[in-house]
Structure 1
């Protein structure tokens, strides 16, 4: 098999079925991405799949640096609960229980 270079892979092309705001977390099935700019429904846009992003955190959890984290779409928050949630990456820093956000290193 021969491969041809396509892109760096830090962002991926994304075609949403509804409008997406800049910075919105989007599900890519088995992982998440973050919209690099507003994307209109049916139009091509870019989502970041590499990097560290501050994201809303489930307010009852303490998350330690390096812990695997997941995106809970219903709560629109990051959690350490895998069941029913989409893998997001890992915590890039500790987040105490009272913190409203956590730094997430995307799976990339």
Structure 2
């Protein structure tokens, strides 16, 4: 197909101030993804929009399989939560996570609906 510019499961972004760290989550407007590599600010890199990842979470929450997951870019430098508020929905939990626990497993939805 001659009009496809990228496959779409990942996109190229320019790292923001402070750069990006491989495996960390980043929000670009309404687009959330996981950094493919560690780069300095201003460097083009890959942002994965779909897939399953272990991410930092609100340790005081207990997650159930399939729970909607939201990204809080402010708390602890960025973490996942099940409390929506005004946060962006990023995916669903792919495993239960206990309270307390520092991480949870998330499948990114690749769709930016909120």
TM normalised by structure 1 equals: 0.89
Q: How does 1:13-92 map to 2 (within 5 A)?
A: 13-18=12-17, 19-75=19-75, 76-92=78-94
Equivalent residue number for residue 96 of structure 1: 98
Q: Is the 8 A contact 1:90 1:107 kept in 2?
A: yes
Q: CA deviation at 1:44?
A: 1.0
Q: Could you give the per-residue CA deviations for residues 26-77 of structure 1, whole angstroms, max 9, x where no partner exists? A: 1022241010001221221101111000011111111111111111111122
State whether residues 31 and 107 of structure 1, in contact with CA within 8 Å, keep that contact through their aligned partners in structure 2: no
Instruction: Give ranges in structure 2 of 5+ residues lacking alignment.
Output: none
- Hey, what's the Cα distance between the residues in 2 that align with 1:66 and 1:31? 21
Alignment correspondent of 1:11: 10
Structure 1's consecutive aligned runs of 4 or more residues displaced over 3 angstroms after TM superposition are none
Aligned-pair RMSD on alpha carbons? 1.7
In the superposition, relative to structure 1, how do residues 80 and 31 fare at CA in structure 2: closer, same or farther (>3 Å)?
farther
Give 1:17 deviation, angstroms: 2.5
**How does the TM-score come out when normalised to structure 2?**
0.85
Q: Which has the higher strand share?
A: 2
